[in-house]
Chain A
Amino acid sequence: MAKTIKAALKVIPKAQILKMYELMLKARVLEERLIKIYKTGEAYFWIGSPGEEAFGVPLGMLSKKGQGHKYDWFHMHYRATPTMVALGMPMIDSIRLIMNKKTDVCTGGRNFSNHYCFPQWNVAPVTSPIEVQYTQATGTAWVQKRHKSKGITIVTGGDAGSAEGDFASCLIWASRKGKELPMLVTVQNNGWGISTPFEGQHGEESVADRGKAFGFKTLTINGNDPIESYIKIKESMDYIRKNGKPVLMEAMVSRLRGHSSATGANLIVNEEDCLENFEQLLLKSDLLTEKKAKKLRDDFEKEARQAQEIVRTEEAPSADTIWDNVFVDNENADWRAF
């Protein structure tokens, strides 16, 4: 974490710094609500992103948001809440997803928490396999390159997922000579693959180093520092938009609640908390007061709680919808009716 806010204020407007804090807090409060929903038996499963706010929020804030190849494409993994909150996702959308309601705009009650999908912002569907987004992302980047768009393709994953073949495929397809793709390829290194530590599956010093062999611009950043994340993400995005070439960014982050509800979703006390540290920095720098921080948290908690209360009353998807949307226009997919 940056020692003072002075240097940050030279490159990031104060309003942006405060906005970043608010969004990080909002994302954290939302994830805490999702965990409560799971722990009180109102959801089958939770997976999410507490501890990745300092990276995920600036990623969303700095992107070019919209639909179509002129805007940035997002191929996220299942720790995407901070980025979605920064893009403008209402809390209730995430709560409808985890409570698998008919009103869930991402999947209609069909998929897990944090498996977001927002076509209006080019957010590709998040899937449970931890690698497929890396190859799929090359396709949207290819189309952006064809159209000489200033939109770029952003793809995220974890350090454990970088062991999968699609990560290597992404490095190859994004870096072919003369066919380089405008991609920000990121790895959020939280040091774990469920219960396997980084050292147990990697021999390389850093995941970012792997990009060097492919001519990627590479960097490893402190993803627990929102200021550093903001600056480095911005530099990288500017480079990609200007040059049309890929960047591989490894962000060292914390995993504050373990892998998922499957590992308990309890607070891991020895991990660095980026939100707490950032809040302290802002308080010390007189950019934030205790009163303001408390009010923000209270307001977000109220919003999350009220959203849960609304969602609780909403309809579940009905059993007769299982055949819906197998094919476009609900063309019959049930062989019994052929």
Chain B
Amino acid sequence: MANMAQAIRMALHFSEENLDVKDIFGQDVGPPLGGVFTATQGLKTAWNAPLDERGIIGMASGIALTGERCVAEIQFCDYIFNTIDLLKMVGNTYWATNGNYNLPMVVMTPVGAGIRGSLYHSHSFDAWASRMPGWKIVMPSNPLDAYGLMLSAVDDPNPVLFLKPKALLRVRGSELIPGEPDNEKTLKEMIDAPIGDRSKWKPKWPKLEDYRVEIGKAKTVIEGTDLTVVSYGRSLPMCVEAANEMSESIEVIDLRSIYPYDWQAIKASVEKTGRVLFVNEDTEVTNFCEHLAYRCTQDLFYNLLARPKVVAGKNLPGIGLHANLEEASVPQKSHIKVAMEEVLSEVP
């Protein structure tokens, strides 16, 4: 099975060939490196940008103004913050011009902790991103969804921010991407750049097929009746593991899209279970999941058997390098299990 980095690479290749993507660019995105997480190796339209995040977002928005499609990368979301007003401008362009100009562009950026990245390679951006109206925001938790979400993002007429959970980029999926060879060694030989001299290397792409994950649609990963757990990205597989280790029947929803989000999936589940836990990695004060918890109290108050709970990153200025510091700063499986027990044990 492909890992998420390979899945994104294959989605971008499919997009170059079939969805009219003409530029895939960012720092170290082109040869020889093909991305610091290898997600852009071997792509014919990939090129290296100056080390200038504002230039990257600005150029992407200009390309999009012409109607041509591009995928721009910010190497780590920790470095996207100096582009925030450009992101705001991109998000408001269609609205501010009352529909005169839309910007069909994708910005992708690795997010979150889990690789011992310390202060500037561990940030999350999903809560920040949810405060940028006009953008669609997606974040996959597995390679197949990454492939399907990327194709949907590239084909969307609006700006889409594709958040890559960096700790999951090397994790293999459990489902084949349509067209992917079923032997992972074969896939590696076909599309992974060799170590050393790559100047003559060319990928041999599998015959990939179109596969979409609709933006705005969640996926119920485990069905259950006692508690709803809503998560996305890196914390989703932790929630699945935690749910499987609990004796109660826990429903786990992979939100996949942060905006627009699948309220109907959340609502149906919470109406069934009466209890809900939200999990993500971004800092906990004014966290996006607080909005979801708020909405549960407003729309589903009389269905609730317990207070909605949010488990998120601690509201700290950074994530410390040492494992003890990192693991105490962002949700781990043990934290999620404790929170599950708290919500499950509450007596209305």
Residues of A within 8 A of B (CB): 68-69, 73, 75, 104-108, 110-111, 117, 119, 124-125, 127, 129, 132, 134-143, 146, 165-166, 169, 172-173, 176, 324-329, 331-333, 335, 338
Contact = CB atoms under 8 A, between A and B. Distances in A.
Contacts of A329: 157
11 contacts: A73-B65, A106-B97, A124-B101, A135-B54, A140-B66, A142-B62, A143-B68, A169-B58, A176-B50, A327-B136, A335-B291
Given A132-B85, A138-B55, A125 B158 contact: no
A106 B59 CA distance: 23
Contacts of B68: 143
B260 A338 contact: yes
Contacts of A333: 133-134, 260
Contact of A326 (B95, B100, B157): B95
Given A69-B66, A139-B63, 5 more contacts: A105-B100, A139-B66, A332-B260, A338-B260, A338-B261
B263 to A, nearest CB: 4
A108 to B, nearest CB: 3
A119 B85 contact: no
Contacts of B271: none
Contacts of A176: 50
A327 B60 CA distance: 18
Contacts of A326: 94-95, 133-134
A250 to B, nearest CB: 21
Nearest to A119: B100
B18 to A, nearest CB: 19
Nearest to A104: B98
- Residue among A119, A143, A166 facing the most chain B CB atoms (10 A cut-off): A143
A143 B100 contact: no
Given A169-B52, A173-B59, A335-B261, A111 B96 contact: yes
B62 A324 contact: no
B64 interface: yes
B22 interface: yes
Contact of A117 (B55, B100, B263): B100
- Residue among B96, B99, B158 facing the most chain A CB atoms (10 A cut-off): B96
A171 to B, nearest CB: 10
B144 interface: no
A331 B216 CA distance: 11
A106 B93 CA distance: 11
